[in-house]
Amino acid sequence: MRIMVTGGARSGKSSFAERYAAHLAKCGVYIATAQAFDAEMEERLSLHRKRRDDSGFPWRTIEEPLHIAGWLRRHAPADGEAVLIDCLTLWLSNWVLRHESESDMERTVGDRVEELAAAVREYPGTVLLVTNEVGSGIVPEYKLGRVYRDLAGRMNQRVAEACGEVFLVTSGIPVELKRLAFRFD
């Protein structure tokens, strides 16, 4: 089962994904893609860890800022286990910042997105992926921001194609989109 959870900042995406994983499985692997480069980010990560610890659901946390496709390909899911990857837009930022000075950065990062979408499609267990809808706001002033926004939109489309369920979380309310999607039949 492959599930994507998307929405805006502070919409309740992560807490919904954690609760849904606990509903679907007996235990979870939490793949954290964020990196703490300052005290404020470390505090955010600490609050996420505390929420998981306080939930009563058994999580094992793995910090993997870049190579989640490889991790999915190497990891054989245990019986009753769900994998939650939080968050794809931070993962994308990690790749963009790693390659931002290269002339073919968009192609290089786009290749990582394709690799991730394929790994998600092929994963034999339950995987939930949290991402952000970054293209709903203003047009970024700087080129790198616009490139990132475009990459994030394309990434979300590719991962959504690989998933059986896609939830949009707004104001803490999850809505499953694939059941509502218009189809050209």
Catalytic sites, residue numbers: 48
The two structure tokens encoding residue 5: 């959870």
| 12 marked among binding-site residues | yes
User: Judging by DSSP bridges, how do beta strands 81-86 and 59-63 pair with one another?
Assistant: unpaired
- Report d(CA 39, CA 54) in Å as an integer: 22
Closest by Cα among 38, 68, 37, 36 to 49: 36
| 38 marked among binding-site residues | no
| 160 marked among binding-site residues | no
Length in residues, the chain:
185
- Report d(CA 55, CA 182) in Å as an integer: 36
**For the chain, how big is the Rg over CA atoms in Å?**
16
Q: Nearest-5° angle of CA 147, CA 150, CA 151?
A: 85
| 170 marked among binding-site residues | no
| 73 marked among binding-site residues | no
The two structure tokens encoding residue 97: 């910042």
| 121 marked among binding-site residues | no
| 43 marked among binding-site residues | no
The two structure tokens encoding residue 57: 């659901």
| 49 marked among binding-site residues | yes
| 63 marked among binding-site residues | yes
Residues making up the binding site for GTP: 7-14, 32-34, 49-52, 63, 86
Residues making up the binding site: 7-14, 32-34, 49-52, 63, 86
